[in-house]
Chains A and B, each alone.
Chain A
């Protein structure tokens, strides 16, 4: 097992398309790192550069302290699980898993031992004689994972491995991969566009957009301390509310927008002093807006607003409200017992202790 380091790595296609720009990060030994971002953000390209399937245009890639830029994929001691599984159609499950070991000239009984052990871990022992086309999607996925684990590589690379599975199977495989990570104590780099996969499995998330790393942090940090509006909006569902506002001074600091006037808690005042009378973006997560009747945040009159309900979406365990306040539109996730009705007014409460303020120009987090 090993450490992976990227230093100022660039990928430029045909001298102009910049797929990955100046990526620098370290993946520690035994860490489960997720590269997260929308499609076309460069996450898969980054993974493929680690695998050696894409050339690195500039910068350095090290695995275990050794520079790997010009090392062939086969000599990097990595294993990869592909989005479409990429099983060899002409080989049985057993041979699919054994192929890498055969190429590395492992003794036959060792191959046999490893394949059977991996099959046992993944619960595919009875499928070893089958061909990939006789397997379901979930089974193929397991074989693809098995092919990676028999090799016992330094680093596992996963390229959106769950995106072709149905929702139920995805939840199941998610927890299995997490367990597998603990069991194998493996270093894993995992690419996905699914924030739930990232949040549930990762030790560390690297959020990317348009080839640029936006933020690196634990799931907790990414969720609670997003570095900019992109990360804040990408993580969390429904997405964070962004309201164009101004910070004003009126016996303390306030957030003022077209439909809201909310008191900023004392502890943030110092940080926001220089932004007084400036335009900012006020961010608040839907779950931090409450129906006043079921408020979990202190109700002080200075963090409430009377707003119009536009749409009510009851989900059973919670209810999503689409709200209108002046020109501002808000989404709130509230208690399912809410009595909010469409086209009626409702009093809502903001938990201002978890609010976010972003720079209007750069989108960077101020708070």
Chain B
């Protein structure tokens, strides 16, 4: 009987294990192999010029100014995106959690953007932030500013090449779009968290002498730490791999002001047939995400054991 169960069990999981082994881990290994090769043109491969070049692709990448810009962009995008979605998510969750009239409607309203494809969001926001021909023929928001007489708020948005240190200001519209799309999701997470906090703990804190503000920072937030951690991980890996939103909204932008590694990877691999370089970027992105996710996996595995 036990043996039979074992056979059934294995045969049920086997297809997905095999598929994952080939299409996930197999291809990761393949990509890793390619990233150490000189496969930088299709014809070269056909001629049989496929040899290993060690870390040459990686060294080239890190010397590449475009890739350096991408890394800075990813860093700033991730920081502001995480901060924005989490802060906005918490604020919306608190407001919705108050249970005021109509909060149910807003809860759904806030969550809704998540249901839309990044490509759609990107396109729509690209219209909103399209600067038009400044200063005489503005579009989108700039047009609104002009009508309101707020002319000095008009600027190039995602076409601007201004920067603060390494932070390209053109990223601001992209960050706004991304925050808009995913803060409803963090709201939902925090809302679930807030509703999971037993009421008597809050009441105990009230009796203990805590103000609303103190209750939030000293009782609720610490109890929401697991939520914050999950949000950081989930949003973090989205942010590090972001492609579709930026691609649909701005592309690389002038001077690569809104370029990200995924776009560079896409262009190298599928526009220039430089497979080895593209693979190297893929591996670097995988490492970034691994840095975020692996500690989380370990800690959650430890938690499960307990």
Contact = CB atoms under 8 A, between A and B. Distances in A.
A152 to B, nearest CB: 13
B33 interface: no
Interface string A139-150: 000000001000
A86 B210 contact: no
Nearest to B203: A53
Contacts of B211: 74
B135 interface: no
Contacts of B222: 90-91
B9 interface: no
B205 A84 contact: no
Interface string A69-113: 000111000111011101111110000000110011000000000
Q: Which bracket fits the contact residues of A?
A: 20 to 34
B209 interface: yes
A227 interface: no
Q: Which bracket fits the contact residues of B?
A: 10 to 19
- Chain A interface, >50% SS class: loop
A207 interface: no
A80 B214 CA distance: 18
Nearest to B200: A86
A84 B200 contact: yes
Contacts, number: 61
B223 interface: yes
A340 interface: no
A104 B203 contact: no
B304 interface: no
A87 B202 CA distance: 10
B107 to A, nearest CB: 23
B207 A90 contact: no
A255 to B, nearest CB: 49
Interface string A100-134: 10011000000000000000000000000000000
Contacts of B208: 74, 79, 99-100, 103, 147, 151
Interface of B: 198, 200-201, 203-211, 214, 218-219, 222-223, 225
Given A99-B208, A99-B218, 14 more contacts: A52-B206, A52-B207, A74-B211, A80-B207, A82-B200, A82-B203, A84-B200, A86-B203, A87-B201, A88-B205, A89-B223, A90-B223, A91-B222, A103-B209
12 contacts: A51-B203, A52-B206, A53-B203, A74-B207, A74-B208, A74-B209, A80-B203, A83-B200, A88-B219, A89-B201, A90-B222, A99-B208
The 5 residue pairs across chains A and B that have the minimum distance between CB atoms: A100-B208, A86-B200, A86-B204, A74-B209, A90-B222
